[in-house]
Structure 1
Amino acid sequence: MSTAGRIQDDQIHDVIIIGAGAAGLMAAGSAASRGKRVLLLEKNRKLGVKILMSGGTRCNITHNCDAKGIANAFGRQGKFLRSPLAALSPAEVIEKIEGQGVATKVESTGKIFPVSNKAIDVRDALVRLATEAGATILTEQPVVAANAIPAVSSSNGQPGTTEHSTSLFRVQTETHSFVASKLLITTGGRSYPGCGTTGDGYAWAEQFGHSIAPTIPALAPVVCHLDWVHGLKGITIEDVGLSIMPVAVEGSKSKRKPLDNGRGPLLFTHFGFSGPTVMNLSRIISRAAAGEPSELTNIVLRCDFLPSTSLEDLTAQFRQQSQSGGRQAASSLLLSFFPRRLAEALLEQASIEPTQRLAELSKQHTQRLVDAVKRTDFPIHGTLGYGKAEVTAGGVRLNEVDSRDMQSKRQPGLYLAGEVLDLDGPIGGFNFQAAFSTGWLAGQHV
């Protein structure tokens, strides 16, 4: 897809934007709507490839909350997002998408999707926003270099004026050389490198004096090598309490506290675990995997398969059933809660035969089964990495970018937006909203 007319080498634009993802497309529409001469460069043949594959190809556009809700979801990074979100709120994103003829819907989780369930509709709406405003978009233009170049503006000999110099930016692709007075980097991070997000923008940012917070894959599926976990592949439990726990130290009497926790659906897979809750917890696992090899052995994933029932209540319930169940099989304790494969796996973890009679269960049997249901600890062996991570944690440090306009504090005329920044939120449309808002704000100032 290309929307260019005739492009000449070294033709001067007001702004060049590198990367036609969520932030880049929104920024192009924002800047072009102000009458700026905008050139948007994309390395891929298709625009917005990550948009197209997001949300299972449905595209979770944003979340059904206000700007404060988005900022709060980013924790310590949320303060940086206040100005971008004031410039473009979740409601305003939806207004722009629907203004392009794409109806949206709010699902029970708060996620907002197109009614069509087609990510391509969202991508095309963003492209129209940019092109109808007058932006020029070139595809299959991988950038090989981006540099600041001196440009002298003379007084033309007018009395009472002096010469002053500014900077221009030259961006070179494999086939062209372009020049602009402003440069905006919206290249994304390293997640889903098959989309073209291979971290190119970090090197250019460093070249302009920025430092990069170490990057790790975030919102990634979690790997567990236990055979019995793999044997449960395809099973989804809709409500599970999950915690990342430090491994108990032998001889220590201190109570272990979770490093992070969450609650929601859990999917067993052929490699371990997936689902939004465990993926939200994957940052800690990725950080451990990036450290010393022993760090992963120091944490476990604890699962509470019945989070709405207290340990005490479940213990009393199982004991009452054991005492009154007589010849019923032990598996009957769990089959009303779980699919048979999971029920039998938990019984095995408690060293109880599924066919064992309830009347034969001792208090110790019952307690082991309660523990299996409420606090099974799974060893974890990393994540599926950048290849399956929805976002990248880390990136251009936020204290080096002015959140009021997204301009670099290191290089005048340079702007940065989207996932190239050290911004990563939870699953649920939060990261797209951050990209849209930072891109729009940058476009209002370039």
Structure 2
Amino acid sequence: MKNRESLAEPLEIRVVGGGAGGFFAAIVCAEAYPQAQVSLFEAGSQLLSKVRISGGGRCNVTHSCFDPATLIQFYPRGGKALRGAFTRFQPKDTIAWFAKRGVTLKTEADGRMFPITDSSETIVDCLTQAARRAGVQIYTSAPVSQVRREGDRFILTLKSGKEIWGDRLLLASGSSPQGLQLARSLGHQIESAVPSLFTFNIPDSQLHELAGLSVEPARVQLILPEQKPLEQTGAVLITHWGLSGPAVLKLSAWGARVLHQHRYQATVRIHWLPTETAESVRQTLLAAKTEFPKRSIAAHNPFSQSPHNLPRRLWQYLILKAGIDETGRWADFSKQAMNRLIQQLTQTELPMRGKGVFKEEFVTCGGVSLKEVNFQTMESRCCPGLYFAGEILDIDGITGGFNFQSAWTTGWLAGQAMGKVVHPSYT
């Protein structure tokens, strides 16, 4: 077969996966190389499904972190590989790309960035209109069941049996087993996919009664056998099944593999007053005992005011957990009881027995091994003409817009590279 690089016909570029990474790559490629024929195949009936539900339907597009060295610290897996990639396309470039197409993003207090409309449909509409203008051919309900190479080209076999030829192939099918199998069939090693970003199931009915309470900040540790404790500080949300909130979700991401290995059985240790030491907590309790001897311990929470803002119901839960009588007075507060309460305030230990689902964003770690991908172009090192973008790669970030940013970045790099007429592999 003749090498297509030498022919006059336009390059045929095939994209598998209609999520953020694949869709963005298709647009970027079609805009940069208008002579190319770019086609996108999505297995489901709906495009950009995660974009639609992200951020509770508002779409957390990216995060206001503009230093690549800092940005990569939010990726439990893939940060090193993304360092150079973020020097070429990072959050400020994402902001500019959407702004150029009429979408303004706003920054919230925690750094997350959303469209000013607070609607994911704004992002979906922007992307679909850009794809339409660029001439991307889109096929939904078109799952690809098999891919093979013939000469320098690819043949995609759809589930319907139809065969599609292409000169370049981008796999951006997320963590779907079928997409990973396609990558494996083309010679790639796959790191096993396990959940990342999930909540902790805590079998403590008294804790469950506090559902809805949020504490910020708290320091949370994961204690696992023969492992150095993992630790994160941030807001903790108590739920009907256990614990959620940014600190817990960050821990779930950093501990994704080891927690999977331990079948989500661990000990969670929480310091509810992370700016305090055990001794400073003791001094505060001693002062309360001196100043309010006749008041009940349960009724007077000395940590209720700023900067701690420890909720009253949580204070009463910790008192009970320390084995202290709810009706006891500060005057009768013994040294032993004080030690137990200090332990609960600074080192509450709770059993983790399983995981929940972070409903706003389902993320996995695992995917195509990063050492087999050139992060300047997102081209396979094993199979010339094959590219990757998005969550199919062994990259995942914590919550806050970081997973979308890696999708935009890898999609942009792939889109810029795929349409070049002279392929680096043939030079």
Above 0.5 in TM-score?
Answer: yes
Mapped partners of 1:101, 1:228: distance in 2: 50
Mapped partners of 1:180, 1:386: distance in 2: 37
Cα distance per residue 1:187-228 (max 9 Å; x no partner):
111xxxxxxxx3321100110111111211011111111212
Structure 2 equivalent of residue 186 of structure 1: 172
Mapped partners of 2:211, 2:223: distance in 1: 23
1:423 CA displacement: 0.5
Q: Is 1:314 the equivalent of 2:274?
A: no
**1:21-40 alignment to 2 at 5 Å?**
21-33=19-31, 34-35=33-34, 36-40=36-40
Seen in structure 2, the aligned counterparts of structure 1 residues 106 and 389 have a Cα distance that, compared at 3 Å, is closer
Mapped partners of 1:286, 1:435: distance in 2: 20
Q: Is 1:353 the equivalent of 2:325?
A: yes
2:202 to 213, 221, 224: 224
Cα distance per residue 1:416-440 (max 9 Å; x no partner):
1111000012211111111101011
Cα distance per residue 1:163-193 (max 9 Å; x no partner):
xxx233334243643211111000111xxxx
- Is contact 1:27-1:439 (8 Å) kept? yes
Seen in structure 2, the aligned counterparts of structure 1 residues 429 and 292 have a Cα distance that, compared at 3 Å, is closer
Mapped partners of 2:214, 2:375: distance in 1: 41
Mapped partners of 1:317, 1:233: distance in 2: 27
- Is contact 2:253-2:398 (8 Å) kept? no
- Is contact 1:386-1:392 (8 Å) kept? no
Structure 1 equivalent of residue 41 of structure 2: 41
- Is contact 2:76-2:254 (8 Å) kept? no
Structure 2 equivalent of residue 278 of structure 1: 248
- Is contact 1:58-1:117 (8 Å) kept? yes
Structure 1 equivalent of residue 90 of structure 2: 89
Structure 1 equivalent of residue 391 of structure 2: 419
Mapped partners of 1:301, 1:97: distance in 2: 41
Q: Is 1:392 the equivalent of 2:350?
A: no
- Is contact 2:90-2:409 (8 Å) kept? yes
**1:391-410 alignment to 2 at 5 Å?**
391-410=363-382
- Is contact 2:29-2:38 (8 Å) kept? yes
Structure 2 equivalent of residue 235 of structure 1: 213
Structure 1 equivalent of residue 3 of structure 2: none
- Is contact 2:199-2:358 (8 Å) kept? no
- Is contact 1:32-1:133 (8 Å) kept? yes
1:72 CA displacement: 3.2
Mapped partners of 1:397, 1:356: distance in 2: 59
Q: Which amino acid aligns with 1:21?
A: G
Mapped partners of 1:386, 1:350: distance in 2: 31
Structure 2 equivalent of residue 333 of structure 1: 301
Q: Which has the larger displacement, 221-230 or 276-285?
A: 276-285
Seen in structure 2, the aligned counterparts of structure 1 residues 83 and 339 have a Cα distance that, compared at 3 Å, is closer
Mapped partners of 2:192, 2:376: distance in 1: 24
1:339 CA displacement: 2.7
Seen in structure 2, the aligned counterparts of structure 1 residues 79 and 349 have a Cα distance that, compared at 3 Å, is same
Q: Is 1:169 the equivalent of 2:155?
A: yes
SS in 1 for 2:212: coil
Mapped partners of 1:173, 1:27: distance in 2: 23
**1:27-176 alignment to 2 at 5 Å?**
27-33=25-31, 34-35=33-34, 36-66=36-66, 67-74=68-75, 77-150=78-151, 166-174=152-160, 176=162
Q: Number of paired residues?
A: 402
- Is contact 2:294-2:329 (8 Å) kept? yes
- Is contact 2:54-2:360 (8 Å) kept? no
Structure 2 equivalent of residue 362 of structure 1: 334
Structure 1 equivalent of residue 403 of structure 2: 431
1:375 CA displacement: 0.8
Give the TM-score taking structure 1 as reference length.
0.85
Backbone CA RMSD of aligned residues: 2.2
- Is contact 1:12-1:179 (8 Å) kept? no
Mapped partners of 2:92, 2:58: distance in 1: 19
Give the TM-score taking structure 2 as reference length.
0.88
Seen in structure 2, the aligned counterparts of structure 1 residues 340 and 72 have a Cα distance that, compared at 3 Å, is closer
SS in 1 for 2:326: coil
Seen in structure 2, the aligned counterparts of structure 1 residues 290 and 68 have a Cα distance that, compared at 3 Å, is closer
SS in 2 for 1:282: helix
Q: Which amino acid aligns with 1:130?
A: A
- Is contact 2:391-2:407 (8 Å) kept? yes
1:76 CA displacement: 6.3
Q: Which amino acid aligns with 2:155?
A: F
Unaligned runs of at least 5 residues, structure 1 = 1-10, 151-165, 190-197, 250-256
